[in-house]
Amino acid sequence: MAQPLTFPRQYALTRRFTVGRPRTFTVTPDGETVLFLRSPDGANPDLSLWALDLTSGDETQLVDPSSLGLSDEDLPAAERARRERARESAGGIVGYALAGSGSIVAFALAGELFIHDLASGETRSISTAGQVFDPRPNHDGSLIAYVSGRELRIVSVGDGADESSPADSDDRTLAVDDDPLVSWGRADFVAAEEMGRSRGYWWAPEGDRLLACRVDETPVPRWWIADPANPDQEPTENRYPVAGSNNPIVELALIELDGSRRMIDWAADVGGQTSDAEYLADIVWSRSHDPLVVRQPRHQRAVEILDIDLETSALALRHTIGDAHWVELIPGSPSWLGDRLLTIEDRADLDQRVLCVDGEPVDTPGHARSIIGTSGGRVLITAWTHPTEVHVMAIDPESGEAQTLTDEPGVFGASLGTNGIVVITGSRPQIPGTITRVTRLDETTDQLEIASVESTPAIECSPEFLELAGLQSAVLLPNGHDGTTPLPVLLDPYGGPHAQRVTKAHGGHLVSQWFADQGYAVLVTDGRGTPGRGPAFEREVWGDVAQPVLDDQIAALDAAAEHFGFFDLDRVGIRGWSFGGYLAALAVLRRPDRVHAAIAGAPVTTWHLYDTHYTERYLGHPDVHPEHYAQTDLIAEADKLARPLMLIHGLADDNVVAAHTLRLSSALLAAGRQHEVLPLSGVTHMTPQEVVAENLLHLQRDFLAANLVNH
């Protein structure tokens, strides 16, 4: 008889319990079908394309990638990079694009182009001249634009006959440069990693031309990522815009279908005012309006939204959002409600993130998080109604009425289609898996469900949500703990700005619960800088992402110990990844009196080595604010280490490069400070490999046991 899977093995096989979850929802224009992706079960990561019939409630598998005979081993380099930026761990059909008319779906699989005809049910390949990345059909589905290497190309779908060559399928180049450092139609690194823009071209709503980015990486510092375990392989060149260095040059062109183009100076001066725009944040192009360009200056204290006159290429400033520290880029903002501009803005006078119409705040319950869409004069948004909960609501800007569509504790998101059809998906705190419901804005009692086939975790997860020292926290104890036996403590934060760990979503606490079941009281705290509590709370870390964040972890630890009584404060450990890894190393360097062992995974150790958009948002430009970088640099404090520290880093990480860990290790060695380094050959920032994900949990458990439990 097969033995039941251990939690670490299950965690690895299920890609952190994301496999089997329906995702990527699109309502067809006729309002009859919801398209979505889902894998066949909770252990198979390969996603298929599915359809839910809104009349019958039946689900139909439209495309099974296994039947097409292709493997993810053959992915184009651009697709591998996109998946890393998006933290995409699934395989198969990980994305698709529906023609505006609803006629076809286009997707890439292992670099080959496929379409699925929704009327006939036929799936067929389209011959192309090169590997395909980010295919998107025009409105009527007759043409598909895609990126191949550094080129933006276009191919005709044809009449359904098998195309035997690129010429037969009318595959042609729309834009390419001879310079190997120039690409067309792709998002640059910081746009994809930090700005939420994963695309580099946009079809006109009529499908007769495109706007496309030209990205020149010549000014960007050249870094090399090598695989020391395979010295016969050439290092990979990586253009990385490190803080204080040059960003790529991003240009914008209006391209006709014959390849002719006209450049649009999206960063131009407007209204007699000199522009300092450096970041192209987004393009918003709807059927009823000329496109909008969303841009930011290098210092990020403003976002400008401008109209593009496609006849003259002239820009006109429509709206500016400003802030004394930085302006957040919000999903779905800006959008249109008829002829009125919708934005989500941080308002310091209200200490609230609010929905705005033409710049005027609308009474928003909680803090607005994203704009989903509009229907019948209402705006569908997600919002924090509590720092630990995200809900879906429809707001009428005229009356101020807000209809909440999710009525139980949890974290929810939504997609909006025609006729007010809403697909709501979310996670609840005590219930494994996700739920997905399809409803209409005015018919909340008539709902369909899309099935999830996620695996049920092999542990029972029971976080207790508390406010400790004024901070949102979750405490997880061993199942069956008697409430009195002393327990060593494990701090398990992310802790950094722009992200949360303490949310009422079941899957976010599974690993913490597993560590708790190893005999720890696990404390997860969101300190200053984390979202959901208002602009002032987030901006308390500007200029110093170290001390306030660490102080909050210690304050929550003391409050938790007072609340529970059995927290053993003589045995406190901390673990974290990415910013959490930075915080873990920081804790044992600065507070060895309170934190006695640390595991720092993929940590930033010096902010001089992290990217422009993220780092300068919180610390400013290093030439202007060198003191901010000096006071947050771990390497400068290496001689303070007096507690056990394990450093873990993927050597193929192109986000937080391995140099962070290696430089800290060198400084620790120079100071004579003992520590452990676990290098992971061929592993990136998101550690997607099953064997790595599983055994990292075991190795962390053993390190903590040796240095806390058995010490």
> Could you report the per-residue pLDDT of 652-672, keeping only the tens digit for each?
999 999 999 999 999 999 999
Q: What is the mean pLDDT of the chain?
A: 94
Question: Could you give the C-alpha distances from 651 to 230, 441, 458, in angstroms and in order?
Answer: 12, 48, 31
pLDDT tens sequence across 166-220? 434 589 999 999 999 999 999 999 999 999 999 999 999 999 999 999 999 999 9
Task: Give me the mean pLDDT over the 291-302 stretch.
Answer: 98
Question: Token match 């409105």: residue?
Answer: 139
Decide if 83 contacts 45 (C-beta within 8 A).
no
Task: Give me the mean pLDDT over the 580-607 stretch.
Answer: 98
In the prediction, which pLDDT does 161 show?
42
Task: Give me the mean pLDDT over the 418-441 stretch.
Answer: 93
DSSP H or E run through 556: helix 547-564
| Cα 102–Cα 103–Cα 108 angle in degrees, nearest 5 | 95
Split at pLDDT 50, 70, 90, the class of 364 is confident
In the prediction, which pLDDT does 3 show?
64
In the prediction, which pLDDT does 686 show?
79
In the prediction, which pLDDT does 165 show?
41
C-alpha 527: how far from chain center: 20
In the three-class reduction of DSSP (H, G, I as helix; E, B as strand; rest coil), residue 352 is classed as: strand
* DSSP alpha helix (H) spans, 32-184: 77-86
Structure tokens at 493: 């934060």
Decide if 524 contacts 501 (C-beta within 8 A).
yes
* Burial class of 197 by CB neighbour count within 10 A (0 to 12, 13 to 18, 19+): buried
pLDDT tens sequence across 126-179? 999 989 999 999 999 999 999 999 999 999 998 654 444 443 458 999 999 999
Structure tokens at 26: 């699109």
Decide if 390 contacts 408 (C-beta within 8 A).
no
Look at residues 51, 204, 202, 29 and name the one whose alpha carbon lies nearest to residue 102: 29
Look at residues 321, 99, 284, 308 and name the one whose alpha carbon lies nearest to residue 207: 99
pLDDT tens sequence across 24-42? 999 999 999 999 999 999 9
Question: Could you give the C-alpha distances from 658 to 209, 495, 675, in angstroms and in order?
Answer: 42, 21, 16
Characterize 218-251 residue by residue with b for buried, 16 or more Cβ atoms within 10 angstroms of its Cβ, and e for exposed.
Answer: eebeebebeeeeeeeeeeeebbbbbbbeebbbbb
In the prediction, which pLDDT does 590 show?
98
- Give the amino acid at 624: V
Phi, psi of 582 (to 5 degrees): -60, -45
Structure tokens at 143: 């043409």
Of the chain, the percentage scoring pLDDT greater than 90 comes to 85
Decide if 433 contacts 454 (C-beta within 8 A).
yes
Question: Could you give the C-alpha distances from 197 to 86, 190, 312, 333, 507, in angstroms and in order?
Answer: 10, 9, 26, 12, 26
In the prediction, which pLDDT does 2 show?
55
Decide if 522 contacts 515 (C-beta within 8 A).
yes
Look at residues 583, 575, 685 and name the one whose alpha carbon lies nearest to residue 634: 583
In the prediction, which pLDDT does 162 show?
45
In the prediction, which pLDDT does 444 show?
59
pLDDT tens sequence across 523-549? 999 999 999 999 999 999 999 999 999
CATH fold, domain 464-709, is Rossmann fold (3.40.50)
Decide if 383 contacts 391 (C-beta within 8 A).
yes
- Alpha-carbon distance of 198 to 690, in angstroms, equals 26
Characterize 473-496 residue by residue with b for buried, 16 or more Cβ atoms within 10 angstroms of its Cβ, and e for exposed.
Answer: bbbbbbeeeeeeeebbbbbbbbbb
Structure tokens at 102: 């609803």
pLDDT tens sequence across 310-323? 999 999 999 999 99
C-alpha 462: how far from chain center: 26
In the prediction, which pLDDT does 91 show?
87
The DSSP output letter for 512 is H
Does the pLDDT of residue 573 top 90, yes or no? yes
The DSSP output letter for 48 is E
In the prediction, which pLDDT does 280 show?
98
* Burial class of 263 by CB neighbour count within 10 A (0 to 12, 13 to 18, 19+): exposed
In the prediction, which pLDDT does 445 show?
62
pLDDT tens sequence across 187-200? 999 999 999 999 99
pLDDT tens sequence across 92-118? 999 999 999 999 999 999 899 999 999
SS3 of 675-699: CEEEEECCCCCCCCCHHHHHHHHHH
Look at residues 320, 335, 325 and name the one whose alpha carbon lies nearest to residue 275: 320
In the prediction, which pLDDT does 166 show?
40
Decide if 194 contacts 614 (C-beta within 8 A).
yes
Lowest-confidence region among 225-239, 463-477, 607-621: 225-239
In the prediction, which pLDDT does 64 show?
95
pTM of the model: 0.95
- Give the amino acid at 683: V
Structure tokens at 555: 């304050």
| Cα 262–Cα 214–Cα 185 angle in degrees, nearest 5 | 105
Look at residues 436, 434, 454 and name the one whose alpha carbon lies nearest to residue 42: 454
Residue 608: how many CA atoms within 13 Å on its side-chain side?
15
All residues at 6 or more sequence positions from 161 whose CB lies less than 8 Å from its CB, including other chains = none
Residue 241: how many CA atoms within 13 Å on its side-chain side?
25
| Cα 672–Cα 677–Cα 680 angle in degrees, nearest 5 | 160
Q: Is the peptide bond before 334 cis (omega within 30 degrees of 0)?
A: yes
Does the pLDDT of residue 1 top 60, yes or no? no
- Alpha-carbon distance of 198 to 83, in angstroms, equals 10
In the three-class reduction of DSSP (H, G, I as helix; E, B as strand; rest coil), residue 647 is classed as: strand
All residues at 6 or more sequence positions from 527 whose CB lies less than 8 Å from its CB, including other chains = 471, 493, 495, 548, 549, 551, 552, 553, 556
Look at residues 323, 195, 81, 79 and name the one whose alpha carbon lies nearest to residue 611: 195
In the prediction, which pLDDT does 699 show?
96
Q: Alpha-carbon Rg of the chain, whole angstroms?
A: 25
In the three-class reduction of DSSP (H, G, I as helix; E, B as strand; rest coil), residue 653 is classed as: coil
Question: Could you give the C-alpha distances from 410 to 25, 407, 504, in angstroms and in order?
Answer: 20, 9, 5
- Alpha-carbon distance of 551 to 637, in angstroms, equals 17
Decide if 448 contacts 437 (C-beta within 8 A).
yes
Q: Count the helices and strands in the chain (H runs, E runs).
A: 11, 44
Give the start-to-end residue ranges of the domains of the chain. Answer: 464-709
